[in-house]
């Protein structure tokens, strides 16, 4: 259940489209093949009150966190990170040109021992339930 | 000083009341008995720009993080998590029905070696100060 | 690339100025000398839907997280934390008086093995590039 959270300083609003940024980042994560595409949840949030470095108006930031289950090899994590980072750089090219933009991107791992999940059952799962075959999806995983 | 942070995708707005969700989650955490009730701080934030899975309009997410001091036994952490998770599932039942909703909930531990806290002193504490008995509440804990 | 994220409950809005709080916190972090001043990114976000303790209207919270690279000595981390915490306490003095305010502040470390960064090149760097001397700034660091 990877989560991607994008924060951006409000001055970037004229140099980026938040929905496009979300879509490009989301798609890049999906295209790594490392995740169940169904599981990715990406969002962007604008920061209206902020200060970057010396506070000059052309200073801007984008900060992105990707949280995912632990256990992947470092090489795989690097590959995931690099792919998503390149998509961010491409999407943010106009913002890098128009502002003194600092982009940071972190991969973080979730402690799945203490993580709980539930999804709306799909039609297929509901069918299986009717047939008495579904295993519980609710609970820790 | 447990913190509970709830994020939800904006399309859920017609299927949940954020204030009720905050209250139910907060109460469930308090009722575990694991925390000083006075110490719990819960908030909800709507994500207006997001993408879940294939981006279809009925795709929705709720993501909840509970941060607490370290040192509890795994069994206690499971019990806390399960109790709060069940409250979330109950409160979100209409949203699970109306949307393809994915709920995720993480317990995280705070590194209290590098945590600082200060509270407004209570009347009782102010009285104790007047009597010269209070120990400093400010600083790391 | 330290990041400072400030959350505050909406009822504090008449007892604090978010921009001043951001500036004071940012400046305190810069004045520790522990960071490249150019690298600090600070933002504040108001939480409109929240519950603190028993939910009474005078209950308020401020929660601050400072994320920085790992590897500093515990004494340095304590000194950084204490300096920023004192600035927060000073800036929030009116809010501590007007509300039952709980302030919490956490230092967290970034796993820089899986962190990616890119900055808009400065004029100096662009000059160096023209002269064929710049090392790549893009990528993991």
Contact residues of A toward B, CB < 8 A: 1, 3, 18-19, 22-23, 26, 37-45, 110-111, 113-120, 122, 138, 140
Instruction: Please state the rounded mean pLDDT for residues B49-64.
Output: 98
Confidence label for B37 from pLDDT (cuts 50, 70 and 90): confident
pLDDT of residue A136: 39
Confidence label for B130 from pLDDT (cuts 50, 70 and 90): low
The order of strands in the sheet holding B41-47 is: A139-140, A115-119, B100-109, B59-68, B3-9, B41-47, C49-52
Cβ C87 vs Cβ C28: under 8 Å: yes
Nearest of A119, A105, A114, A109 to residue A5 by alpha carbon: A105
Shortest CA distance from B26: residue in chain C: C51
Instruction: Please state the rounded mean pLDDT for residues A122-141.
Output: 52
- Cβ-based contacts of A10 with chain C (< 8 Å): none
Choice between B126 and C113, residue whose per-residue pLDDT is larger: C113
| C65 alpha-carbon distance from chain centroid | 6
- The span from the CA of B91 to the CA of B88, in Å, is 5
Question: pLDDT tens, C100-111?
Answer: 999 999 999 999
Instruction: Please state the rounded mean pLDDT for residues A54-62.
Output: 97
Nearest-10 crossing angle of helices B74-91, B18-31: 150
pLDDT at C124 over 70: no
Distances (CA, A) of C109 to A108, C68, C127: 11, 5, 34
Nearest-10 crossing angle of helices C18-31, C74-91: 150
pTM of the model: 0.90
- Cβ-based contacts of B9 with chain A (< 8 Å): 41, 43
Average pLDDT, chain C: 91
pLDDT at C141 over 60: no
A32 to chain B, closest Cα gap in Å:
14
Confidence label for B92 from pLDDT (cuts 50, 70 and 90): very high
**What is the phi/psi pair of residue B137, to 5°?**
-100, -15
Distances (CA, A) of C103 to A93, B37, C64, C100: 38, 16, 8, 10
Q: Provide the pairing of β-strand C49-52 with A59-68.
A: unpaired
A7 to chain B, closest Cα gap in Å:
11
Least CB-CB distance to C104: which of B1, B26, B37?
Answer: B1
B81/A118 touch (CB, cutoff 8 Å), yes or no: no
Torsion of CA C90, C95, C100, C103, to 10 degrees: -50
pLDDT of residue C47: 98
Segment (H or E) for B98 = helix B93-98
Give, rounded to a whole angstrom, the gap between the first and last alpha carbons of chain C.
10
B52/A44 touch (CB, cutoff 8 Å), yes or no: no
pLDDT of residue C107: 98
pLDDT of residue A72: 96
Residue to test with chain C: of A44, A53, A72, most C Cβ within 10 A? A53
pLDDT of residue B129: 53
Tokens 């109306």 sit at which residue? B98
- Both tokens assigned to B20: 């009720």
pLDDT at A38 over 70: yes
- Both tokens assigned to C2: 């330290």
pLDDT of residue C1: 79
- Both tokens assigned to B39: 């110490």
Choice between A11 and C138, residue whose per-residue pLDDT is larger: A11
Instruction: Please state the rounded mean pLDDT for residues B113-135.
Output: 72
pLDDT at C130 over 80: no
Chains touching chain A through at least 3 C-beta pairs below 8 angstroms are B, C
Cβ A62 vs Cβ C37: under 8 Å: no
Helical residues (DSSP H) of chain C, grouped into ranges: 18-31, 74-91, 93-98, 123-130
Cβ B34 vs Cβ B83: under 8 Å: no
Instruction: Please state the rounded mean pLDDT for residues A81-105.
Output: 98
pLDDT at C134 over 80: no
pLDDT at A126 over 80: no
């Amino acid at each position: 259940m990877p989560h991607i959270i994008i924060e951006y300083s409000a001055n970037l609003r004229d140099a980026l489209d938040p929905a496009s940024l979300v879509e490009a980042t989301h798609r890049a994560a999906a295209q790594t093949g490392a995740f169940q595409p169904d599981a990715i949840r990406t969002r962007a949030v604008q920061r209206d009150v902020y200060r970057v470095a010396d506070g000059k108006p052309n200073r801007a930031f984008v900060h992105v966190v990707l949280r995912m289950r632990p256990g992947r090899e470092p090489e795989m994590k690097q590959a995931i990170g690099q792919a998503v980072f390149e998509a961010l750089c491409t999407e943010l090219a106009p913002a890098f040109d128009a502002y003194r933009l600092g982009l940071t991107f972190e991969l973080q791992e979730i402690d799945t021992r203490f993580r709980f999940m539930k999804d709306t059952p799909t039609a297929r799962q509901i069918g299986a339930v009717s047939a008495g075959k579904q295993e519980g999806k609710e609970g820790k995983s």
